[in-house]
Structure 1
Amino acid sequence: MKLILNQDVYNLGEEGDVCEVARGYARNYLIPQGYAVLYNKQSIALFESRKAAIEKRKEEKRKASLSLKEKIQEQEIVLEVPSGDNGKLFGSVTNANVAEALKALGITVERKKIELPEHNIKALGTYTAKIKLYGDEFAELKVIIKSDKEESSAPVEKKVKTEAPAKDESEESSVVEESAPEAEAEKAEETEEQEQ
């Protein structure tokens, strides 16, 4: 069935485009939702009169997509997710996760316009996501997937190293010997209290 689009429809065309679609898709979705009208003499005349306004809107969308492309390509997203020791994630990172991270940076993009390698990410590393903008424009976004374990364990090690002054081996062994009897005495007291 031949239609003229009233507005941009993802994977179909832009406002004012003439397209051929399945009859059921046209009658059950596009026409009732107001996305398209039947292709006939009246609708052709209507769109010819609106052609200048449509072209102006298309040009504005192109300019907006170019500025959005620059803004996106300047960004780098780092996501910390749970993972195993072998570098595989528990679950996966999807385009919805990337869309949320972009939204936190003040950039709103529909998740269905974000294309990840192999549809989702299942391992740690650096990836490039493609974001479909207006027309044939794509923006590339660098997505870095890190383990949430690395971040939590690294500061602890740094604290231990910076807080602990250098000791001789003899001092360390005496500290261990002193603390062992104290620990045994505390355990004995706890067991006596529990028995009573």
Structure 2
Amino acid sequence: MKVILYTDVKHLGEMGDVKNVANGYARNFLFPHMYAVPYNDQTVAYFESRKEEIEARKEQKRKDAASLKDKLEALTIELKMPAAANGKLFGSVSALTVAEYLAKNGFDIERKRIDIPGVTIKSVGNYHCTIHLYESANAEVKIAVTAQEDESAKKAEPKKAKKEEAAPAEESAEEAKAE
């Protein structure tokens, strides 16, 4: 069934696009949610009258994607992950990890748009990932993965020192009782 999209539909298209979809998909999902209208002379005429508005909206999305691309390419994602002495990570850096980092820094990017070579990063080092923004606009982002300082070792040292200090105090208390 041929339809014209009334709004942007994820994984299908943008407003004003003419798409050929399954009959059930159109009748059961697109039409009831007002995401699309049937392709006929009236709807074609309506969208032809709004063509300039739709093109202006797409152009604005292209400009936003270009500015976002510049900001992302200037950014270096610095992740500190727990790692072994040989540089192998105990976990891995995935698209979700990168998306969370970007969200903390004010970028609203879905993890599905982030493409990490090899799907995940499993060792310390410098990497590049691609972020798909809009149409053919892609941003190459640098990722620097470093080993996290072992805080458990730092916390363990003072505890050992306290135990050693406590042991002589107990011995002196036992000697005092013996006298």
Which deviates more, 48-57 or 16-25? 16-25
CA RMSD of aligned residues (A): 3.1
Percent of counterpart pairs with the same letter?
A: 50
| Deviation readout 1:51-94 (Å, 9 max, x if unpaired) | 11101111111111111110110000001111233433223222
Match of 2:171 in 1: 189
2:9, 2:32 → 1: CA distance?
A: 14
What is the TM-score of this pair, normalised by structure 2? 0.77
Cα gap change, 1:21 to 1:120, in 2 (>3 Å): farther
Match of 1:76 in 2: 76
Match of 2:111 in 1: 111
Match of 1:131 in 2: 131
| Deviation readout 1:78-130 (Å, 9 max, x if unpaired) | 01111233433223222222122112222221222111122222222222111
- 1:190 CA drift (Å): 7.3
Q: RCO (CA 8 Å, sep 6+): is it higher in 1 or 2?
A: 2
Which deviates more, 59-68 or 21-30? 21-30
Secondary structure of the 1:107 match is coil
- 1:139 CA drift (Å): 0.8
Q: What letter corresponds to residue 75 of structure 1 in structure 2?
A: L
Question: Which of 1 and 2 has greater Rg?
Answer: 1
Q: What letter corresponds to residue 2 of structure 2 in structure 1?
A: K
2:115, 2:134 → 1: CA distance?
A: 15
What is the TM-score of this pair, normalised by structure 1? 0.71
Size of the alignment, in residue pairs? 167
Note the residue ranges of structure 1 that are not aligned, 5 or more in a row.
157-181
Give the alignment of 1:44-193 within 5 angstroms.
Answer: 44-149=44-149, 186=168, 189=171, 192=174
Cα gap change, 1:21 to 1:88, in 2 (>3 Å): farther
Secondary structure of the 1:149 match is coil
